[in-house]
Structure 1
Amino acid sequence: MRTTEKQPRTSPLVPDAVAREIARHDWDSVDCGCGRPAGHLVDTLWDAAEGHPAAFHALEGHAFHTGRLRPPAPAVCGVLMAVWCAGPPRQSTREALLWALLRLLGAEDDGTSHEAGLYGQCAAHIRAALPSLRGAQAHRPDSVSAAYANGILHLLALAD
């Protein structure tokens, strides 16, 4: 009897760096905010990486819920930052991505030490892209993207 492994998902819309970031996590070993293993988030993250704004909003209840971070938050944040660094082409995708990052940073930590806790891990992923976030803030200062980027930078400054 031959076992078959699930083929990794691919998409011409998803940069290799984003696909690698999704693949490097053992999603099924993480408890999701909805109470199931987080493996079901992989499809949502692929949808987000392909540029579907609704996919970013679908992370509510899974990576963050009722103002608290949930266990998949750092891995989700790593994927979102890979998407950000790849430069999402559409304005609506950038806005939804920045909204999700702002929600992650605006949520309460899980109560563990700051640097090792969920918040600290998320903040570390986001800090790695500070120059491009500052660029989003300055590019069109009156845009929704700039407002979200400004909120993210403000929350990171409060955490320092």
Structure 2
Amino acid sequence: MKLVEIEIDRHDWAQLRCACGQPASHVAADLLKMARADGEGEIDAEVLEGHAWTSAALFEPALPAVSVALAALADDVSPVSRRIFSELLLLLLAGEGQATYLAHEGRDLIAECTVAAKSGIWLLYAEVISGRCVDTASNSYEALTLIEEDVDRLDRVQAAAAENLRWDLR
């Protein structure tokens, strides 16, 4: 779990504007709890709803949360934690709006999150192919559909990993 801790420590969470109106320091603590989860029901990705995102928008903590999710997929975390982080990544990449103040600052947080996720594209492909967990593979595949520009590669991996994916993604 060292990679997750390093990635969390890289960011000044207290300077990030959280959707709840508070500094985002508590988001870092929740991400660490997610990384330490080893049993179902302890915590889930939706704990960050209302903080890194809302139903209408992404907020500043979303960008470092993408990097932490990728670090978790590269790290030695439990299968439960791996599933939670794959779900978090999918939720963040599926965002369709951003906080108004970000647009006024000239930022495109959706594009920034996409670029950050692309840096870990092979981690997502490895998760799809691994066969460790259908939910994690499916979340990773769906995340790839949002960021991958090479449709041929995506189609070939989908065909190769068919049994690793939920029935609706095969």
Partner of 2:146: 155
Match of 1:32 among 18, 23, 27: 18
Q: Determine if the alignment matches structure 1 residue 61 to structure 2 residue 50.
A: yes
Partner of 1:41: 27
1:17-67 deviation per Cα after TM superposition (whole angstroms, max 9, x unaligned) = 322221221111111011111112121111122235615321111111114
TM-score, normalization: structure 2? 0.73
Q: What is the letter of the counterpart of residue 110 of structure 2?
A: Y
CA contact 1:45–1:55 (8 Å) conserved in 2: no
Q: Determine if the alignment matches structure 1 residue 93 to structure 2 residue 99.
A: no
1:105-127 deviation per Cα after TM superposition (whole angstroms, max 9, x unaligned) = 10124274xxx521222222221
Write the distance in 1 (CA, Å) between the matches of 2:53 and 2:78: 25
Aligned residues: 143
Q: Which 4+ runs in 1 deviate beyond 4 A?
A: none
The structure-2 alpha-carbon separation of the partners of 1:99 and 1:144, relative to structure 1 and needing over 3 Å to count, comes to same
Match of 1:23 among 9, 13, 33: 9
CA contact 1:109–1:117 (8 Å) conserved in 2: no
Write the distance in 1 (CA, Å) between the matches of 2:133 and 2:87: 16
Partner of 1:118: 109
Write the distance in 2 (CA, Å) between the matches of 1:101 and 1:18: 14
CA contact 1:38–1:72 (8 Å) conserved in 2: yes
Q: What is the letter of the counterpart of residue 139 of structure 1?
A: S
TM superposition shift of 1:156: 0.9
TM-score, normalization: structure 1? 0.77
Q: Note the residue ranges of structure 1 that are not aligned, 5 or more in a row.
A: 1-13
Q: Determine if the alignment matches structure 1 residue 136 to structure 2 residue 124.
A: no
